[in-house]
Chains A and B, each alone.
Chain A
Amino acid sequence: MNDTAILHRYANPKAFSDLAASITPIAGIIALALFAIGLPWSLIIAPADYQQGDSARIMFVHVPAAWMSMFVYSCLAGCAIATLVWRHLLAEAALRAAAPLGAAFTAVALITGSLWGKPMWGAFWVWDARLTSVLVLFFIYLGIMAIFSALEESGKAGRAAAILTLVGAVNIPIVKFSVDWWSTLHQGSSVFRADGPKMAPEFLYPLLIMALAYMAVFFWMWLIRIRTEILVRRAASLEAAR
């Protein structure tokens, strides 16, 4: 069987649902295990920062959430293209399922960031380019969710939300490069750099564990939500047929 045949097979909602049913608990166990390692490591074992003290530990919760806010949006954009090009039901269900998760990660990034900002910068919020573009990202997530809740007809809602998702994708490079293009109070990237990570290993490793934990939680929740979405539709079509 070649690659596209595999894709076509799992593009069937029933086949996907069965596959997801077996992956979901595994993703859940991986997520919980990673948090069981990552949380104590980053919040207790990792040394306190020599300048910021224990406040720097917020970084382990904040940075992965911020990464996820952009990663989830990239997933949304992929689903949006699949929704518009192939009008695929599964892509639309995935789009609908991922939007609130992305909004939640963005909210966590914004809230933890402002909690850290108060002791370090002296303010909960500053209007620099990074913070502003992430706030705009949050509003775009809310807009996508609003379209889904305003349109009853699911096929139409999916395509309308997909159009908005692709328009909003313009914001993603702005979020990513805002710290390079403008002189922001928010610091630049110290992990994804052309010359390698510029972070001490005792901070870097727990951060990466936490990032993987966030990633596993996202896929866990996403799969549960997509399966729920498929079930809701099946229930609705059965209800309509009765």
Chain B
Amino acid sequence: MTDANVSNRLEEAFVRCRDLDVPLADRLQAFANEVRRLGPHFQAAVDALVSRLAQSSAGATAPQVGEPMPAFVLPDEQRRLVRLEDLLDEGPVALAFHRGHWCPYCRINIDALARVEKKVAPDRRHIAAIVPDRQKFAMWLKSDAKAPFPVLTDMDNGYAMTLGLAFYVGDGLKQMMVSSGWDPSVSQGTDNWMLPVPATFIVGTDGIVRARFVDPDYRVRMATEDMLAALRSAT
């Protein structure tokens, strides 16, 4: 099977897994299983990356519960500049770092977040996604999931890097991603081949982190139930 062929099948698998009526973790797992089945060579490189990240404790230095979330000014998909403090003026917020519009796990995750947002928005609790993708691609990710929340652009993973969440993809995986049509250098507008560890921070109106989820294994994301609970209990 050619790489292009694999990527078409993965796209079909993505749609199937996104639309499953099961919890987020199960949808992500279902897609991971498809990747394992369709591209075993890809899987080995991914496993190597995840274990490398786990060994170097990627994300370990990101803000802990009880610590302040550093301020940011990032453009949203409509070219508005969004500050963390503006978001917190509205109420507690969940900041969800994603890898990019090209990542099926992120697309499944954003789809799940869109459903969460509907439940918490009436309570003045919100979500904001952060991606290293430029505006056009951030907009695509948002419309793909019909997400009501902003998708902010973190150019060059600058903000993610200050939190210790950015890492280099590595030469081997880079080649495989390019040949499968997953080329973040186009959407990021840089050849850095850096990606953020997907992570979620629930931040209270005082700017203090109330809950966090950081896992170097990008196939695992914060459970929507946990996020809902943390957002609801945050003040």
A binds B: no
Chain A residues packing against B (C-beta within 8 Å): none
Chain B residues packing against A (C-beta within 8 Å): none
